[in-house]
Amino acid sequence: MRNTDRNIALVLICLTTIAALFASVFAATVPVVGEAPKLEHGTSLAVKDSCFACHSVIEGTSVVFKDDVHYHNAIGCAACHGGDPKEDDQNLSMSAKRGFKIRVTRQATPEYCGRCHRNARIMRKVKPQARVDQLASYRTSVHAKGLAAGHIGSAECVDCHGVHNIRAVSDPLSPAHPRHIAETCAKCHAATADLFRKSPHGPVFTSQVMPGCTACHASHGTQPASRAMLTGKKAVCTNCHDPGSAGAKAAAEIARLMARLETTGRGSKDILARARSAIHTFNTAAIKRAAEPALAENESARK
């Protein structure tokens, strides 16, 4: 009789445990594709997360994710990738029914990150002072327009901020920290970044921990080079150089040179590009040397 009672008790315990497991699985919040995930900011990632546990071994993604700003704000894998982090069965946790998402394309990444970063309600919980207009700004950029035109090499979020090891911009180890902006941009613009580093501006920006490229071209709303950046009411040079100063005079001279060069016709596009790159030397003689072939050709055509 005692054995029968013991067996019945064990069966009841098993049934209760199974029921509790089913309840926890189906009660889990599953992010909907295209919507911002419902984040419970302030919770701990110490709770069960099968995604984090599994990928500590597979690919090692979870190892670097421990340095990620999202991890430190208790935002786990499922917030971006969907799925069910409470389910041990990989086929279930990574199933469409549990909201798992396939890998995001480069073209879709900005809008994907924007689900949270343009959402004031979410950002207030994580970082109250954070801007929520960065996606709107990015859409105006030369990089966004390049992506939209099919140039998949155009920069998007992960190129500048990282993927699973995203750090706060204020973190000195972040590739988006002012100290590292030039080298981050150099991943795509190596020659131009090298000219900047060797220019009179390079050492000043480094010593003052100022953001090199983005100080002139902006960050998320990166704009292409133009003469308006050199002179005029919205000239970026005036942010540092007073009217009439040596720097302002040099900017005006470079602008006049570029105006002449831009009238040389289609055959000089390559030379125009080299001259624009040479602007990062902030040396008028170097810019003239880059522009000379086209200027000479233009003068010859006039005669």
Q: Are 291 and 264 in contact (CB under 8 A)?
A: no
Q: Under the phi-then-psi rule, with left for phi > 0, alpha for psi from -120 to 50, and beta for the rest, what region is 99?
A: left
Let me know if 188 is exposed, middle or buried by CB neighbors in 10 A (0-12, 13-18, 19+): middle
A 10 A CB-CB count for 201 gives 19
Nearest CA to 25 among 79, 75, 83, 81? 83
* Euclidean distance between CA atoms 120 and 133, whole angstroms: 9
Task: Determine the pLDDT at residue 257.
Answer: 87
Task: Determine the pLDDT at residue 147.
Answer: 95
Task: Determine the pLDDT at residue 111.
Answer: 95
* Euclidean distance between CA atoms 256 and 36, whole angstroms: 49
Task: Determine the pLDDT at residue 123.
Answer: 93
Domain ranges within the chain, ordered by starting residue = 25-103, 133-224, 225-303
pTM as predicted: 0.76
pLDDT by residue for the chain (303 residues), tens only, comes to: 445 554 444 444 444 443 443 333 333 333 333 455 554 443 445 567 888 888 887 777 888 898 999 999 989 899 899 999 999 998 999 999 998 987 889 999 999 999 999 999 999 988 899 999 999 999 999 999 999 999 999 999 999 999 999 999 999 999 999 999 999 999 999 999 999 999 999 999 999 999 989 999 999 999 888 888 998 888 999 999 999 999 999 999 999 988 888 776 555 677 888 888 999 999 989 988 888 776 666 565 555
Nearest CA to 219 among 246, 250, 262, 181? 181
3-state helix, strand, coil in the chain (%, to 5): 55, 0, 45
Q: Which helix (H) or strand (E) holds 124?
A: helix 120-126
What value, to the nearest 5°, has the Cα angle with vertex 290 and ends 286 and 296?
120
DSSP assignment string, 271-301: HHHHHHHHGGGT-HHHHHHHHHHHHHHHHHH
Task: Determine the pLDDT at residue 41.
Answer: 41
Terminal alpha carbon distance of the chain: 117
* Euclidean distance between CA atoms 185 and 222, whole angstroms: 11
Let me know if 138 is exposed, middle or buried by CB neighbors in 10 A (0-12, 13-18, 19+): buried
Residue 217 phi, psi dihedral angles, 5° rounding: -100, -5
Task: Determine the pLDDT at residue 223.
Answer: 87
What value, to the nearest 5°, has the Cα angle with vertex 283 and ends 279 and 287?
55
Q: Are 298 and 264 in contact (CB under 8 A)?
A: yes
Q: Are 54 and 90 in contact (CB under 8 A)?
A: yes
Task: Determine the pLDDT at residue 174.
Answer: 96
Q: Which of helix, strand or coil describes residue 189?
A: coil
Let me know if 238 is exposed, middle or buried by CB neighbors in 10 A (0-12, 13-18, 19+): middle
Question: Tokens 């979410």 map to which residue?
Answer: 122
Amino acid code (one letter) for 24: S
